[in-house]
Structure formats: structure tokens, C-alpha cells
A and B are shown apart, each in its own frame.
Chain A
Amino acid sequence: MTAPAILPARSAADRLTGLFWRKPNLLLILLITPPLLWLGLVYVGSLAALLLQSFYSIDEFSGVVKEEFTLKTYAELFRAQNLDIILRTLLMSAAVTLACAILAFPIAYYAARYAKGRWKAAFYLGVMLPLWSSYLVKVYAWKLILAKEGILSWATDATGTGFLISGLLAIPGLGGSSLSTSYIGTFLVFTYVWLPYMILPMQASLERVPASMLEASADLGATRSQTLRTVVLPLALPGIIAGSIFTFSLTMGDYIIPQIVGNSARFIGLAVYQQQGTAGNIPLAAAFAVVPIVIMVIYLMLAKRAGAFDAL
């Protein structure tokens, strides 16, 4: 019997894998170039174009965009009516993020620590299922729930708890004639729609906190609430921040929900939509669109300063 050859005859495919083995970077470059091109040209490129547009201005008489560098458009953001829009959006985004975080934490904690097997599957399904149906359908469904003659007021009237809703609606600045035409309604729908984006990253980060860490804390004499504050929350913070980036920026950019549910006060998304559409003021629309980016950058810088990513 003859021993098999150590270097058998090679095919073209063998030569190719041999080449990749000798030059590992070559394969890496081949694999990463297409997505990098997409990210660089289409994604970052369009962002740069947006930024560029925001430094142009519009001629007030002809309505033509003057392609000259100016900060005039940014100055326009500081007009009272525009500042109102920015402030309103910021407050709404912060409120929605806070509400989502508070609602998501127990759900995420349960899913990460206690749910096993079937219950875990049920959790994922329960969180993801709403994402499978159209966003518009969900928003209109909420409009029906919150409307004056909607199911919610019907239910409260039938149980004699209608005073709760009228009490909410009587809050100055937040209330209105019905839940579906008030800030409270807008807030509820935003919180509902973006909740899964908070739960999932939170659950992922809680899952990475080993059980022995919690036991060690209890072993050293910490009560449950001390463990929550000093161990669980700091370790889960990167996930909470990731979730809040979603809920915060999604709320800041949305222009559909405030049109359907709310008191028709304008938010940044709606302002962008109207400026680039009906008003034809692309530079101002671009400047508005830059605002959420700046806010997010500031937010992340503050979070980093506060040590939110120390556990990463």
C-alpha cells in the first residue's frame, strides 16, 4: 500500500483557500468592502448632504435655495415658535423614554432571570408580535381606544370611574377635550409603540448579569433594593442606554403619531415634513433634522460622563 501524498494535486478552489490562508487580510477586505461602501456612501454620504443643506438658506421672496454657506437657517431655529417645537419634542421624548424604561424593567427582568423554555418563547412572541403589524393600524386602533366615544371612556363610564379621565384631561397644558386629542394621548401611543425597543436591549443586558453576582451581593448583606441599585442597575445600564437611544430618537423623529393622536401641536418630525414639503424650505428642514442628532450626541456624552458604559 502506498501512503497518501502529503501535497495532493490541487484544484482552483484549493488554491483560492490557500491564498486566503496565506493572506488573511485579503478575505477580510473582500468581505467588508460592500457593506463599508453602503455605509460610507449611502448612509454617511446622505447624512453629510443633509448637514450641507442645513448651512444653505432660502430666499424669502423667490423661495429659491441659495447655495451659500450661512448660519442664518440655524438662527431661525431659535425663533420662539421653532424653539417651542424643539422643547416640546425634547420633553415628549424624555417622558416617553422614562415611561418605557419604567414599564420595560420588570418585564425585562422577569424575562432575563425567571422565564425559561416555553415562557421565554412566549415573552419574545409577546414583545415582538406588535412589531409585526402595521404601525398605522396600531396608531389608529389607539385613536379608537382613546377617542371621546371610544372603548376607554365607555369602560370608565360603565364602571363609574369616568372622573379619572376627566381629571386627567383637566390638567392644564396636558389635557384637552378627549384623550385622543391631548398630549396625554400622544404620550400613551408613543410609549406603546416604542416599548419593545426598550425591552429587548434591556433584557439582553440583564441576561448578562450572572446570578452569582446577585447572590454575592445578598451574601455580603445587601437587601434586594440595595442589590438593585448598586449591582443590577449599574450592570444593566448599557442596555438601558441602548434602549433609551431607540425610544428617544424614534420619538424625536416621528411625524405620524402626533398627526393622528394629539392636539395638532407640532413636533420636530412634523416640522421637517412640513418644511421640506408644503413650505419647500429644505435648509430649515435640514436644520431641524440636525437637532435630534445634536441632542443625542449631548445625551450620550452625559451618559458616558456619568459612567453608564463603565460596565461594558
Chain B
Amino acid sequence: MTAAVEFRAVSRHFGPIRAVDGVDLTIAEGSFFAMLGPSGSGKTTCLRLISGFEKPTGGVIRIFGEDVSNTPPHLRNVNTVFQDYALFPHMNVRDNVAYGLMVKGTPRARRYAQANEMLALVKLDAYGDRKPAQLSGGQRQRVALARALVNEPRVLLLDEPLGALDLKLREAMQDELKSLQKRLGITFVFVTHDQNEALSMADSLAVFNQGRIAQIGTPQDIYDRPATRFVADFVGSSNVLPPDLTRALGGPAQWASLRPEATRLAATGAITGTVTALRYLGSATRVVLTAQGPGFTGTEIAALVPTGQPLPAEGQTTAIAFDPAALHLMEAP
């Protein structure tokens, strides 16, 4: 099976700034792929390299096996849902959705029929005559989605499409996007800086840091076995243990990660420390202690205490016990 999108040693440098630096990437056909990273990590530039709005300064990009280095955006069979939706304000919703068909010369009756079909798919069939300014943020987002999908792209690119929506709507749209992707079987490439969004929606994801991919894998891989300190830090809220602490726990002198939910408070345990903060999260309370020991005094370790169990007081000394299998060794950076 050919990959939907393939990057081979792709770079995009802006003068001295290496926005994307030697990225290798394979996105399987029909998958929901997320690009996750903080702002400025190169994920959006990677998306723009796929759509053709940026040209690589090095390397090769293939879409379904074809080298697209010299293909302008309007000739690529990929479509984008823009972060600001970029709906055309002077056209009504139906004309917006039919735009891609219009520029390809589809007759009016046919393109309107297809546009109406797409609007029905995103449950906006009653809104065809409205202008984008008359819609809510969530509705505009759906119009942008319909406008991209009507062209039957083989790859759909989504640039932080849910960023502007409030939490409730965002969760609803996450479910909707996921089920839409399953139903249509189109490859979705989704850029986000929200780790929960990436973990819950993607089949596989790439974590970006400073223009490079820090780790690529399934959400479970990334969450359970972060490759680097950066990934452990950025994805979820893992404890990052310095080499001295890992050694004190019986492991090699190497950086390691330990998920808070794999830990529990105990009278005696592997790590002792002073409780410095308690944060109530609803279903549990996050207890942060400052560890004490040779080489790692001052390291903060968090444990999750399920609601209903006794909590320590701030300033109290306590220990943390954990399942040794939950300790995961990492490379340093």
C-alpha cells in the first residue's frame, strides 16, 4: 500500500530559522494522523508543505507516491480546513461550498446539488442562502469542512480547526470529525497543540519539537512510552525523573518517566518528599511533593489520589509507591 503522504528528509528553512528540519514521515492511507507540538514547533509548516503553500528547501514530499515538489497548490488533490476558516464573505454558504467545483467548471445545477449534499452531511442544509457572517463559529467550521470535502480530496488537512470553539462545542466536533473520517475513509491530517485532542482523535501522531519530530507512533505509544523528556513533558502530565532518581529507584542512570496515575501515596515507599501543592481535579486530586535524596532533592513528583481517599496536608512528609513496570526509560533531550 502506498502511503498517502511521505516526507523524506524534508526541510523548510526561513533564512537562519529552521522551521522544519530533516523530517521523515509516513502517513498511511485512510488514517487519522495528528501533528502535535507547541507553537513554532514546525507542525503548521509541515501542513503547508503538504498543501503546497510552502516549498521545501530540501528533501522530497510524495503524495500517493507522486513527487509534488513542482506541483502548485491548486493542482494537488488535497484540501485544507483553515484555522480561521477563510470563508469568502461575499458569497453565501452554498456558493462557498460550491467554489471548488465552480472553478473546475462544473455546471451550476450539478455543483449546487453536490454542495447541498455536503451541507446536509454537516447538518447545515437549511443555511445555504446565508452569508458566513450570519453563522456561529461552529457553523462556520462545518461550512469550511463541507467546502473542502465537496472536492473529494484524497487527503484532508485540518489546521487547528477547533481552536476557536468553546470546550463543549469542541468536544462535540471532535466526535463528529472522527466519525466523519471513519465514514468517508479519507486520510485526515490534523494539526493541534492540544495533547488531549491529538490523543483522543488520532490513529497515530507525530510530536514536533523545534522543527523536528520528537516521536511518532500511536497515542498509546506516545503516552505510555515517551521517547524523550520533551514528549513526556508535553504529552500528558508525566513525572520526569532525573538519572540520579532513576538509579536510586533501582534502574540505570537514565532519564525516566512515571505517570501520576501509576503512583499511590504510602507510609513507606521508593520516594519520600514534602507535599508542596494539592490540586483538586474533580475525579482525583493531584498531589505534588518535592523529593529528597542524593542528587535529586527538589525534583517535583506528582501522584493522583482518587477522590474519596484520605489526602495529606500541605507540608506533610509522605512517600510514593509505584508499580516498577510503570517506570519508562527515555533518551535525554
Contacts and interface: CB of A to CB of B under 8 A. Distances in A.
A221 B90 contact: no
Given A215-B82, A219-B80, A235 B89 contact: yes
A21 to B, nearest CB: 33
Nearest to A216: B86
B147 interface: yes
Given A219-B73, A220-B100, A226-B103, A310 B90 contact: yes
Q: In the complex, which range does the number of interface residues on chain B fall in?
A: 20 to 34
Interface string B60-104: 000000000000111100111011101111100000000110111
Contact of B74 (A210, A213, A219, A307): A219
Nearest to B77: A221
A311 B89 contact: yes
Contacts of B73: 215, 218-219
B77 to A, nearest CB: 9
A212 B159 CA distance: 12
Contacts of A217: 88, 99, 103
A222 interface: yes
A210 B75 CA distance: 22
Contacts of A221: 74-75, 100, 103-104, 151
Interface in A164-204: none
A276 interface: no
A231 interface: yes
B79 A220 contact: yes
B84 A222 contact: no
Most chain A CB neighbours (cut-off 10 Å) among B75, B82, B88: B88
Interface string B246-279: 0000000000000000000000000000000000
B280 interface: no
A223 interface: yes
A222 to B, nearest CB: 4
B61 to A, nearest CB: 16
B89 to A, nearest CB: 6
B103 A210 contact: no
| Secondary structure of the A contact surface, majority rule | helix
A210 B86 contact: yes
Interface residues of A, number: 20
A234 B95 CA distance: 14
A311 B90 contact: yes
A230 B74 CA distance: 15
A231 B88 contact: yes
A223 B86 contact: no
Given A212-B82, A223-B103, A230-B103, A218 B88 contact: no
Interface in A293-312: 307, 310-311
Contact of B82 (A216, A230, A231, A234): A216
Nearest to A237: B90
B24 to A, nearest CB: 25
B80 A223 contact: no
A223 B74 contact: yes
A228 to B, nearest CB: 12
A38 B209 CA distance: 61
Given A226-B103, A235-B89, A218 B79 contact: no
A174 to B, nearest CB: 37
Interface of A: 210, 212-213, 215-223, 226, 230-231, 234-235, 307, 310-311
Interface of B: 51-53, 72-75, 78-80, 82-84, 86-90, 99-100, 102-104, 147-148, 151
Given A218-B73, A230-B99, A307-B90, 19 more contacts: A210-B86, A213-B86, A213-B88, A215-B51, A215-B73, A215-B86, A216-B86, A217-B103, A218-B72, A218-B74, A219-B53, A219-B73, A219-B74, A219-B79, A220-B148, A221-B104, A222-B103, A230-B102, A311-B90
19 contacts: A213-B88, A215-B51, A215-B53, A215-B73, A215-B80, A215-B86, A216-B82, A218-B73, A219-B53, A219-B79, A220-B103, A220-B147, A221-B75, A221-B151, A222-B103, A223-B74, A223-B103, A230-B99, A235-B88
Top 9 A-B residue pairs of the complex, sorted by shortest distance between their CB atoms: A220-B100, A216-B86, A212-B86, A222-B103, A311-B90, A218-B73, A218-B74, A219-B80, A234-B90
